[in-house]
Amino acid sequence: MKEKQDNNQSHEAIESITHPQCEISRRAVLQGAAVLGAAAIGGMALNLANPADAEAANRVMPKKWDETIDVVIVGSGFAGLSAAAEAGAKGGKVVILEKRPTYGGNSIINGGEFNAWDDELHLRKQLNLGDDSPDLHKNDTLKGGDNYGFPDLVEILTSKAPEALNWMIDNGGLKLRDVLNRTGGHSAYRTHTCVEGVGRGYTEAIKKIAEGKGAEIRLNTALTWIWRKDGDAQTPIEGIEVQSGNKTKNIKIRKALVLTSGGFSRDIKMRQSFNPSIVPEFNCTNQPGATGEVIRYAQAIGADALQMAFIQLYPYAEPETGILDAPAVYPFRGPGYGIVYVNKMGKRFVNEMERRDVVSMAQIKTGMKPTYSIFSEEMVPKMGTKEEVEKGIQKGRFIRAETLAELAAQLKIPADAFQETISNHNKYMAEGKDPEFGRQFTKAMIPLTTGPFYAIAQWPAVHHTMGGLRIDKEAQVIDIWGNPIPKLFAAGEVTGGIHGANRLGGNAIPDCIVFGRIAGGNAGKAG
């Protein structure tokens, strides 16, 4: 009974993501700021994120600084490392602050998919996987976010994605698998995978570049405040307060501060304040540090935040823990090669080529946890490696059987219905038309006719917060009156306005790296 209740609540969550009435109006924020503006005097910080917070009213600018640094970057994932590499290339002291004991944040455990319409290896042409273009990638991204993404930012993301990918290959030693995936919501095969199969492949490449430019990473060091004198729109960032262990220090910033701290998916209270339908019962794919306090600190000194109600569920997470492990990426990579999603009755319930929010809603509507992805051994090289699959079997994440009937028995689903489902899907693929769900078929797809066959259990978990700080094309943070805040930049999941109501899978890494490079380059020449 409780599972059914949770499913209903989760259904509401998905619906809320795609409706703009869930969004707090900018006008309301502006009105609140106008009321509070008179209180901003002396060295006090105006806390627009939480006006009642006594901490903001008591904050006083330090009279002396413990250290001076040219460029400080908060967060050590894709965006932070990319920013550090570009800022370091401009000269001066560049420091990355990471509150966790290890570098990488969510990026290092990311599924490792990078969308780019081309690359210097020209994989799409080599593999004869059809055409693609920056405009097609842009249009898919805008459509995938229900057109809430800002077109000028999306254009930068999609047009510069190949350049960012090639930069890591040429300068960081990144190696790609000889495969391209067409994932949910995309109209072309453009999803690249690094040989490691996880985000670490990219973070190690960018870390190599950043450290080669002299960037320093300080672990166990958390941002606890941003210092900005009260004044007009031209008042710059002065410095920051950080905490490392029991020690607090104030750092003066000479050139610029870059925020790349990620989203707020792990902060249940913050999640619910913007979208109450994302109930606490949802698991989360992300690391514990994804708590969003940096967004609040930026708001406290006047930064604008937008689209905070748009929170994405990852439909392929491990059902009980919500973990995004290597097996959990196979259902995401598989749609372009013929993977099939079935429920506990052995029946399809969605077009496998749909985007993540649609698949999540369809799963929840089944009222049956979990659902399963079905694929064959012939598909494995398209989605991963035999070694990954064997490890997944040992851990109980993949189920393998020689026949569909045996696989149904292991999954405890009706064998007749399951076999009929797969038979019908194979028929649809041969005919090139799916009368049930409208799936588009391509020549690259493989029918489920020859075993061994595999299954993996899956269920939605909170994955990505599309809302965050507002930025312009130069990655400058914009205040609530529409002006850039001097010496303040941001990139990655801490920002909003790019992905809209739903992020297409594989767009996160290019978003972080493209805008991280822009932010870091501009930060390095600021001041």
Q: Beta 247-259 vs 67-74: how paired, if at all?
A: parallel
User: CB 195: neighbour CB atoms within 10 A?
Assistant: 12
Q: What is the pLDDT, as a whole number, of residue 56?
A: 63
Q: Are the CB atoms for 173 and 69 separated by under 8 Å?
A: no
Amino acid at site 85: A
pLDDT band at 59 (very low <50, low <70, confident <90, very high): confident
Q: What is the pLDDT, as a whole number, of residue 54?
A: 54
Q: Are the CB atoms for 422 and 404 separated by under 8 Å?
A: yes
| pLDDT single digits (tens) 131-178 | 999 999 999 999 999 999 999 999 999 999 999 999 999 999 999 999
What φ, ψ does residue 479 adopt, rounded to 5°? Answer: -85, 175
Residue 517 covered by a domain: no
Helices then strands, counting H and E runs in the chain, come out as 17, 17
Q: Compute and round to an integer the Cα radius of gyration of the chain.
A: 23
When mean pLDDT is compared across 1-10, 149-158, 360-369, the lowest value belongs to 1-10
Reading the block at residue 130, the tokens are 């059809």
How far, in Å, CA of 418 to CA of 407, rounded?
Answer: 9
How far, in Å, CA of 107 to CA of 105, rounded?
Answer: 5
Q: Are the CB atoms for 264 and 465 separated by under 8 Å?
A: yes
The domain in which residue 341 lies consists of: 312-462
Q: Are the CB atoms for 333 and 301 separated by under 8 Å?
A: no
How far, in Å, CA of 290 to CA of 261, rounded?
Answer: 8
Inter-axis angle of helices 78-89 and 200-212, nearest 10: 20
- Asked if residue 43 has pLDDT above 70, the reply is no
Residue 181 covered by a domain: no
Mean pLDDT, residues 468-488: 97
Q: Are the CB atoms for 407 and 399 separated by under 8 Å?
A: yes
Beta strand spans in 186-329 (E): 191-193, 216-218, 222-228, 237-244, 247-259, 305-306, 311-317
User: CB 402: neighbour CB atoms within 10 A?
Assistant: 10
Residue 502 covered by a domain: no
Residue 186 covered by a domain: no
Residue of 59, 124, 356, 470 marked active site: 356
How far, in Å, CA of 211 to CA of 137, rounded?
Answer: 32
How far, in Å, CA of 126 to CA of 120, rounded?
Answer: 11
Residue 409 covered by a domain: yes
- The mean pLDDT value of the chain amounts to 90
Residues 6 or more apart from 35 whose CB is under 8 A from it? Answer: none
Residue with tokens 């999941």: 493
User: CB 273: neighbour CB atoms within 10 A?
Assistant: 14
- Asked if residue 109 has pLDDT above 70, the reply is yes
| pLDDT single digits (tens) 111-120 | 999 999 999 9
3-state secondary structure of 456: strand
Number of independent structural domains in the chain: 1
pLDDT band at 399 (very low <50, low <70, confident <90, very high): very high
Residue 494 covered by a domain: no
Q: What is the pLDDT, as a whole number, of residue 35?
A: 27
Active site residue 356: yes
| pLDDT single digits (tens) 271-307 | 999 999 999 999 999 999 999 999 999 999 999 999 9
Residue 78 covered by a domain: no
Name the residue among 461, 86, 462 with its Cα closest to residue 260: 86
Handedness of CA 346, 349, 354, 356 (dihedral sign): negative
Reading the block at residue 49, the tokens are 């994120």
Mean pLDDT, residues 316-330: 95
Residue 347 covered by a domain: yes
Kindly report the CATH number assigned to the domain that includes residue 334.
Answer: 3.90.700.10
pLDDT band at 58 (very low <50, low <70, confident <90, very high): confident
Residue with tokens 């767009």: 507
Q: Are the CB atoms for 511 and 282 separated by under 8 Å?
A: no
- Asked if residue 425 has pLDDT above 70, the reply is yes
Q: What is the pLDDT, as a whole number, of residue 41?
A: 24
- Asked if residue 44 has pLDDT above 80, the reply is no
Q: What is the pLDDT, as a whole number, of residue 6?
A: 40
pTM above 0.85, yes or no: yes
Mean pLDDT, residues 473-501: 97
How far, in Å, CA of 507 to CA of 504, rounded?
Answer: 6
Q: Are the CB atoms for 350 and 419 separated by under 8 Å?
A: no
pLDDT band at 1 (very low <50, low <70, confident <90, very high): very low
- Which secondary structure element, helix H or strand E, spans residue 485, and what is its range? strand 484-490
Burial class (CB in 10 A: 0-12, 13-18, 19+), 347: middle
